């Protein structure tokens, strides 16, 4: 019995060592691959990320979460290049095992208050991310959208750490998760913190899709029954406001691929057709057809050009939009 016991123990130890070696090998392989992807051109890297993001939230350990791996690689490079930020980058990125953990930590520290600690907020954010695969996909697609559409963003890391439009959008997603689970008091508390700290007002009841880019973000207001579909871009001081009705659907529906210029105001339960463009400071009170460009107070159509993708192009020169 003693001999067999020693043999079994030795076999178990050998297996543990093999598993550890395999795990270390996989980690090194992923890190090497992340460096290779991070060194690709911006266009090629974004193509690789878009292809991989659909599977990155699966339970399989073999799936590569390229967004997270590249964030870690960029954090290591930035820590080496700027030692004063090494501690910050370690605590915010490198000390965590997943994008979800890092995002929860970062947002919690931004939105904590004397009445609720960052630790409690971090647990709340983790609960939302772990339960909702849709949220996990959205936070990655939103990050890719910033890198793709904002020429000021040269690294994914910059958007993740410093761009408050991205922060407000992900914090809103937590408040919406709370709202959907009938935790409206907590949703309103979080909404209040987002508005106070980030100066972006998105009601927890609003519905927002994936791949949404909030540029600058200051002064944006999105009402309770507003719907924003996938791949929309909006600049600062956009208002998706109500029609004055007390109850019911009273805010706009923004369809896929729309670009909302700075200061644009869209009021009432109207629909902004897919791949249309609303000019800066325009007041929109009526439906806008797909692929149209509208400007003015009140807004009028100045052109239609099927095939355009204004939210991705971020083209503010309306002369190129006219037919």
Q: Where are the alpha helices (DSSP H) in 150-223?
A: 156-162, 164-180, 184-198
Give the span between the Cα atoms of 278 and 318, in whole angstroms. 10
pLDDT-derived band at 22 (thresholds 50, 70, 90) equals low
Q: What is the pLDDT of residues 72-116, one digit of tens each?
A: 999 999 999 999 999 999 999 999 999 999 999 999 999 999 999
- What is the pTM assigned to this prediction? 0.85
If we measure between CA atoms, which residue out of 212, 198, 180, 179 comes closest to residue 312? 212
Amino acid 278: pLDDT = 97
Amino acid 260: pLDDT = 97
Q: How many CB atoms lie within 10 A of CB 200?
A: 24
Q: What is the pLDDT of residues 298-320, one digit of tens each?
A: 999 999 888 889 999 998 776 65
Q: What is the pLDDT of residues 277-299, one digit of tens each?
A: 999 999 999 999 999 999 999 99
Q: What is the pLDDT of residues 123-170, one digit of tens each?
A: 999 999 999 999 999 999 999 999 999 999 999 999 999 999 999 999
Give the span between the Cα atoms of 95 and 71, in whole angstroms. 12
Amino acid 55: pLDDT = 64
Dmax (CA) of the chain: 90
Domains of the chain and any CATH numbers: 32-54+64-200 (1.10.3130.10), 206-323 (2.160.10.10)
Tokens of 33: 């691959």
Gyration radius of the chain's alpha carbons: 23
């Amino acid at each position: 019995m003693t001999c067999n016991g020693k043999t079994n123990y030795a076999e178990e130890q050998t297996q543990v060592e093999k598993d550890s070696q395999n795990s270390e090998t996989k980690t090194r392989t992923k890190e090497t691959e992340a460096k290779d992807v991070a060194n690709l051109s911006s266009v090629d890297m974004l193509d690789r990320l878009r292809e991989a993001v659909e599977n990155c939230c699966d339970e399989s350990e073999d799936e590569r979460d390229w967004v997270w791996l590249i964030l870690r690689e960029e954090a290591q490079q930035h820590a080496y290049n700027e030692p004063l930020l090494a501690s910050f980058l370690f605590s915010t990125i490198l000390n965590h095992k997943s994008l979800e953990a890092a995002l929860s930590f970062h947002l919690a520290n931004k939105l904590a208050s004397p009445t609720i600690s960052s630790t409690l907020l971090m647990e709340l954010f983790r609960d939302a991310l772990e339960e909702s695969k849709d949220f996990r996909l959205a936070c990655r697609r939103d990050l890719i959208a910033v890198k793709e559409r904002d020429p000021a963003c040269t690294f994914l890391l910059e958007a993740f750490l410093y761009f408050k439009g991205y922060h407000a959008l992900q914090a809103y997603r937590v408040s919406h998760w709370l709202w959907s689970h009938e935790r409206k008091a907590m949703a309103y508390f979080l909404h209040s913190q987002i508005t106070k700290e980030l100066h972006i007002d998105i009601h927890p009841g609003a519905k927002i899709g994936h791949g949404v880019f909030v540029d600058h973000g200051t002064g944006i207001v999105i009402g309770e029954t507003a719907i924003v579909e996938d791949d929309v871009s909006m600049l600062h001081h956009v208002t998706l406001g109500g029609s004055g009705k007390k109850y019911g659907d009273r805010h706009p529906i923004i369809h896929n691929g729309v670009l909302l210029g700075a200061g644009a105001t869209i009021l009432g339960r109207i629909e902004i057709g897919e791949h249309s463009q609303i000019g800066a400071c325009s007041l929109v009170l009526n439906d806008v057809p797909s692929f149209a460009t509208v400007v003015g107070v009140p807004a009028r159509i100045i052109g239609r050009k099927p095939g355009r993708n204004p939210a991705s192009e971020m083209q503010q020169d309306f002369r190129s939009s006219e037919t």
